[in-house]
Homo-oligomer: A and B are copies of this chain.
Amino acid sequence: MVVKESEVCGGGLEWRINFPDGTSKILVPHHHTISKTRFCRILHAFFVEGLFSKIYGFFREAWRLGMDDPKKFFHCFKVGIALSLVSLFYYMRPLYQGVGGNAMWAVLTVVVVFEYTVGATLCKCLNKATATFLAGALGIGVHWIGSHFGEKLQPIFLQGSVFVLAAAATFTRFMPSVKARFDYGVLIFILTFSLVSVSGFRVGKLFEFASHRLSTIAIGTSICILTSILFCPVWAGEELHNLIQTNMEKLADSLDECVAEYFRKDARSEASNKISVGYRCVLNSRATEESLANFARWEPAHGGFNFGHPWKEYRKVGASLRSCAYHIEVLNGSINAGTKAPDFLKKHFSKFCMKLSSSSSAVLKELVFVTHTMTRSAKIDIIVEEMRSAVEELQIVLKSLITQPINASTNINIGNEESDASNTSMSLIEIAPLVTLSSLLIEIAARTEDIAKAVNELAN
């Protein structure tokens, strides 16, 4: 198929397409329409395609998210179910007659309190119930005291008490110990106290108002708790347990892949690249671990976990995993740095470095097994011992390389001068990457032992 530009009788230019089978087709120019269609196309590109691709991207991401973790789909269904249940208080006459317009508070409670994990839901429910009760009682008390002050002073007293209590309660939200566990409770305390003591000025039956609020909150929280525990529960404890396991696995894989990559000659593949940066999510998992550990404390016994399971220990394991991940991050950086060690030395080191890294990752993988089965492993001591001997072997290799030090008093000798003397001698800068790699690996082995200790404490 050839497109030809040919002069035609009319004196204008003509574009003709000659097809292989001998036929041809003339391309008709349409100058006037171009500007219009281009304008349309730009409009189309901006609005339709841009919007369409954004919406498409949004849905694709949503689908990927849900497929990665179908529990998220279930969670959405659970929210829908809880809301449907609570809305029955409006639709069924006998139920509506019981609570009346206050059913609104139950709906509000369900929407605000329902969380992804059972622990978080329980934490919020208990916080909400306790805080509402306390603040309600305090609000009624303050209101009762205020009623003795006379009509003029009462608003001032009420407003003063709201100011002082709200300010004090807000301040406690800054404190880490309160923030971690009772943040929501303090918020609800301020809310209820303000509502009860302020609106009490106008609402006649204050006690009824407070008790209605309490009973609707009780309805809302019990619907939330039942739905979140009965339908495919997501336990914060189990999530934390799995997170720690996944993180350990990722660390082990990253370590293996990073070291193997350094000693391999071919270029990085896409897949290996992905594995070798798996440790990165360990670096950023601190906040998730802390909140899960906090929520897990509220959960009743489930699966293999009793109430009072040592969730704090998981945070220690997480901290030592992160400490190990920092070293792998540096290792990964130094592997990708420019300087290259001589090949024969690399070959010599490779055996020992690979052995150490694979024994470290074997320890990590065994620890994954230990945490998974929640039993002490007989093998773990042997594997740790193997790792220690791999460390020693690497240290012996390092010992076997002899350095001629320069005298501290002399000036710096440039390496090249000396290297003429002995053909095989190398300057330290050439082997620096290998030395750094080795000492990082030795450090990583030490961190792995720390992780093993932390997991052992957890097992006890």
User: Residues on A close to B: CB < 8 A?
Assistant: 58, 61-62, 65-66, 72-73, 75-77, 79-81, 83-84, 87, 90-91, 96, 101, 103-104, 107-108, 111-112, 155, 158-159, 162-164, 166-168, 170-172, 174-175, 177, 187, 190-191, 194-195, 198-199, 201-203, 283-284, 286-287, 323, 326-327, 329-330, 333-334, 337, 342, 344-345, 347-348, 395-408, 412-416, 418-419, 422, 424-429, 431-433, 435-436, 438-440, 443, 446
B443 touches A415 (CB 8 A): no
Name the residue of chain B whose CB is nearest to the CB of A421. B402
A345 touches which of B199, B405, B412, B415 (Cβ 8 Å): B405
Do A87 and B159 contact each other (CB < 8 Å), given the known contacts A167-B80, A191-B108, A435-B432? yes
- In the bound assembly, the distance between CA atoms of A79 and B163 in angstroms comes to 8
Chain B residue numbers with a CB within 8 Å of A76 are 166-168, 170-171
Chain B residue numbers with a CB within 8 Å of A199 are 90, 101, 103-104, 107
Main DSSP-derived SS at the A contact region:
helix
- In the bound assembly, the distance between CA atoms of A328 and B175 in angstroms comes to 29
Do A171 and B72 contact each other (CB < 8 Å), given the known contacts A90-B201, A166-B83? yes
B163 touches A408 (CB 8 A): no
B443 touches A159 (CB 8 A): no
Chain B residue numbers with a CB within 8 Å of A284 are 286
A91 touches which of B66, B159, B191, B438 (Cβ 8 Å): B159
B403 touches A171 (CB 8 A): no
A398 touches which of B75, B201, B428 (Cβ 8 Å): B428
9 further A-B pairs in the complex, CB-CB below 8 A; given A101-B202, A342-B405: A58-B177, A79-B166, A79-B170, A80-B167, A87-B194, A400-B427, A401-B403, A401-B427, A436-B439
Interface centre among A159, A166, A177, A187 (most CB of B within 10 A): A166
Chain B residue numbers with a CB within 8 Å of A433 are 439
Please state the number of chain copies in the assembly.
2
B406 touches A404 (CB 8 A): no
B162 touches A84 (CB 8 A): yes
B404 touches A174 (CB 8 A): no
Closest beta carbon of chain B to A163's beta carbon, Å: 4
- In the bound assembly, the distance between CA atoms of A418 and B91 in angstroms comes to 92
Q: Which 4 A-B pairs have the closest CB atoms?
A: A399-B415, A401-B428, A80-B163, A76-B167
- In the bound assembly, the distance between CA atoms of A66 and B175 in angstroms comes to 10
Do A429 and B90 contact each other (CB < 8 Å), given the known contacts A61-B175, A107-B194, A174-B72? no
Chain B residue numbers with a CB within 8 Å of A418 are 402
Closest beta carbon of chain B to A197's beta carbon, Å: 9
- In the bound assembly, the distance between CA atoms of A72 and B167 in angstroms comes to 10
Closest beta carbon of chain B to A54's beta carbon, Å: 10
A402 touches B431 (CB 8 A): no
A91 touches B155 (CB 8 A): yes
A111 touches which of B79, B191, B203, B399 (Cβ 8 Å): B191
A397 touches B426 (CB 8 A): no
Name the residue of chain B whose CB is nearest to the CB of A168. B76
B425 touches A96 (CB 8 A): no
Do A404 and B428 contact each other (CB < 8 Å), given the known contacts A79-B167, A80-B167, A439-B433? no
A398 touches B429 (CB 8 A): yes
Interface centre among A172, A191, A396, A436 (most CB of B within 10 A): A436
Name the residue of chain B whose CB is nearest to the CB of A339. B439
Chain B residue numbers with a CB within 8 Å of A198 are 87, 90, 107
Do A170 and B75 contact each other (CB < 8 Å), given the known contacts A111-B190, A201-B91, A408-B344? yes
Do A406 and B348 contact each other (CB < 8 Å), given the known contacts A76-B167, A284-B286, A436-B435? yes
- In the bound assembly, the distance between CA atoms of A396 and B159 in angstroms comes to 73
